[in-house]
Structure 1
């Protein structure tokens, strides 16, 4: 026997979810292609978990349509949707063995015990836990328990795998390892997966596409690189990977590029549909270049107010005419002491005009 995994698409068409007078999801539309991992990302209360629960059928839309694999499932209960969910808490039964936990949904669904056991063992092998079926969840590490939860979801052969903050209970080092395992598994099996997290780094690491939500609507969607390098708003620039938002002036522009003056220094950047005049620029912390001040240097004058050593990088807080800047510098051998006067320039990679 081998698992038969058929990836399905997910489509939201003008979906709204109301709880009384409160709108949790407001006229949201998106499409997820089969075999892709798409992350719903955003701050607490933005609507991402409600969106995931509506895909699962645990919440129902107040209006609009939800389709899975091209089939309208808007009014179907969770039991009639071809999806499986991996919960933040793992939700493993402590009194059952690992194998019994993985086979639980199959047994409830009426599969023969011998077939359920065989499929459970195959699911455990997929997540690297072959031979663990007889153990109890308490005998496993947190990362292993999470893999059991993934195996339990996979053996149901869903069209769509849903993951709700699956790594939040793990420490930082283990999170990196398990997220790589989940991503490798998704790609190797060609799964459609919808992943919810509030962790920007996690979303950048695992996703084919990211849907960033804020205040019940989609703020921007795109590939990790598109969101990081071309944020559509100040919110996206600041939420995805940190950004310093400064004011500059577009002095000359065409359809492709814009000349932007920041204090006394001018840069050429990709245009975002802006005309001449005042604008906001998002500058990544590692795109700010600091040098000890000297009389002949070009650049913006400033001073270091705080310097924090973090092993492979130094974080600086810098007072400047542009306001306080957060700087990440990997040149740890040339650390600048707090209180030092400095000259500030920018690497154009990591700078982007904010279109709205």
Structure 2
């Protein structure tokens, strides 16, 4: 295979309507060459529509789409320098893995011998050397997924599009295949736009995550930025569960904010804190419980579940129900007891209205 030519992606004021429904009200975004950018969000947020617009399977109502600096807004799918890996893999069941990978190359006019040689290289690239003779039914789900990635990569696209590529795999395999996809992307340096609704997947594979809500970009940033500095309660809860508590910032000095949650006061490093009412996003594993009837913040355990390496609790407080994950406990605290709630340092983020 020749060198991957990583292209940029640009959406400029893209509006997409389906009849009276506006899927994308006004989307502008950029994907830098050689990066893996994930479009993340709940069902109906516009992420798949965005991917289909990029692939040429849909066309904007207005606005422009550019790939590698070239305006492709009105080009059909087969004239865009992109390849797509579908959720269902879309492999031909009657063709061997090698023939599946070679199919697109032959369709684009390459001689059969050369197409098969390139397909062999593609299979080797994804760790399936020597598996070309197998039919899709003779491969595991993870291997089928890699065949689909190889088939897309041998076309040497400027941009690889991945639509929920791991949703058909079980949890353990998902972890392994997402690592493989990320390592392959970093090794070859291709541009990838990856769609998922799974925040763990997005955190694991992305250079940049774009969280979408109602067809708009709710926040864009690195996995760490989105997890540790969410811009809203929606982002905080979507990027791994968060308890969102009302709070008041009384004082800010030298990058430290004094945050009051009821009678509980906590000092928090914060670059952009301002005094006044705010919200505090608290990760479930940032809360420590101890059996006590008094404390700055107390609650009642209403539910506990032992999950092997951790214990989950629901605690009723005057601010509502808190979800707590205890990674250290060996014995669950009993239900219906009063507990003091303590906040530890990490996993707390201030959200200003």
Say if 2:284 is the partner of 1:299: no
Say if 2:321 is the partner of 1:324: yes
1:271: Cα distance to partner?
4.0
Structure 2 CA distance for aligned equivalents of residues 203 and 331 of structure 1: 27
Structure 2 CA distance for aligned equivalents of residues 220 and 183 of structure 1: 22
Show the counterpart of 1:193: 192
Matches within 5 A, 1:248-267: 248-253=247-252, 256-267=255-266
Structure 1 CA distance for aligned equivalents of residues 302 and 18 of structure 2: 47
Show the counterpart of 1:213: 212
Say if 2:300 is the partner of 1:312: no
1:276: Cα distance to partner?
2.9
Aligned residues: 353
Structure 2 CA distance for aligned equivalents of residues 299 and 50 of structure 1: 48
Structure 2 CA distance for aligned equivalents of residues 68 and 6 of structure 1: 12
Show the counterpart of 1:136: 135
Whether the 8 Å CA contact 1:32–1:38 is kept in 2: the answer is yes
Q: Tell me the secondary structure at the aligned position of residue 259 of structure 2.
A: strand
Q: Tell me the secondary structure at the aligned position of residue 114 of structure 1.
A: helix
1:272: Cα distance to partner?
6.5
Q: Cα RMSD over matched residues?
A: 1.4
Show the counterpart of 2:33: 34
1:277: Cα distance to partner?
2.6
Gaps of 5+ in 2: none
Q: Tell me the secondary structure at the aligned position of residue 330 of structure 2.
A: helix
Structure 2 CA distance for aligned equivalents of residues 255 and 211 of structure 1: 31
Quick check: 249-258 or 228-237, which moved more? 249-258
Q: Deviations over 1:189-247 (max 9, x none)?
A: 01100000000100000000000000010000000000000100111011110100111
Whether the 8 Å CA contact 1:17–1:26 is kept in 2: the answer is yes
Q: Tell me the secondary structure at the aligned position of residue 18 of structure 1.
A: strand
Show the counterpart of 1:223: 222
Show the counterpart of 1:108: 107
1:255: Cα distance to partner?
8.1
Structure 2 CA distance for aligned equivalents of residues 306 and 3 of structure 1: 57
Q: Deviations over 1:248-287 (max 9, x none)?
A: 1111235833211111121122447454332211110000
Show the counterpart of 1:346: 343
Structure 1 CA distance for aligned equivalents of residues 3 and 136 of structure 2: 26
TM-score with structure 2 length normalisation? 0.97
Structure 2 CA distance for aligned equivalents of residues 254 and 233 of structure 1: 23
Matches within 5 A, 1:262-277: 262-271=261-270, 273=272, 275-277=274-276
1:313: Cα distance to partner?
0.6
Structure 2 CA distance for aligned equivalents of residues 135 and 334 of structure 1: 50
Q: Tell me the secondary structure at the aligned position of residue 134 of structure 2.
A: coil
1:61: Cα distance to partner?
1.1
Structure 2 CA distance for aligned equivalents of residues 134 and 265 of structure 1: 65
1:348: Cα distance to partner?
2.9
Whether the 8 Å CA contact 1:292–1:343 is kept in 2: the answer is yes
Say if 2:183 is the partner of 1:184: yes
Quick check: 250-259 or 342-351, which moved more? 250-259
1:355: Cα distance to partner?
2.0
Q: Which portions of structure 1, spanning 4 or more consecutive aligned residues, are displaced by more than 6 angstroms?
A: none
Whether the 8 Å CA contact 1:3–1:119 is kept in 2: the answer is no
Say if 2:95 is the partner of 1:93: no
Whether the 8 Å CA contact 1:255–1:271 is kept in 2: the answer is no
1:345: Cα distance to partner?
0.9
Q: Tell me the secondary structure at the aligned position of residue 236 of structure 2.
A: helix
Q: Tell me the secondary structure at the aligned position of residue 210 of structure 2.
A: strand
Q: Deviations over 1:5-41 (max 9, x none)?
A: 1111111111111112111112111111111000000
Structure 2 CA distance for aligned equivalents of residues 165 and 116 of structure 1: 28
Structure 1 CA distance for aligned equivalents of residues 146 and 338 of structure 2: 51
1:294: Cα distance to partner?
5.7
Show the counterpart of 2:71: 72
TM-score with structure 1 length normalisation? 0.96
Say if 2:343 is the partner of 1:355: no
1:76: Cα distance to partner?
1.1
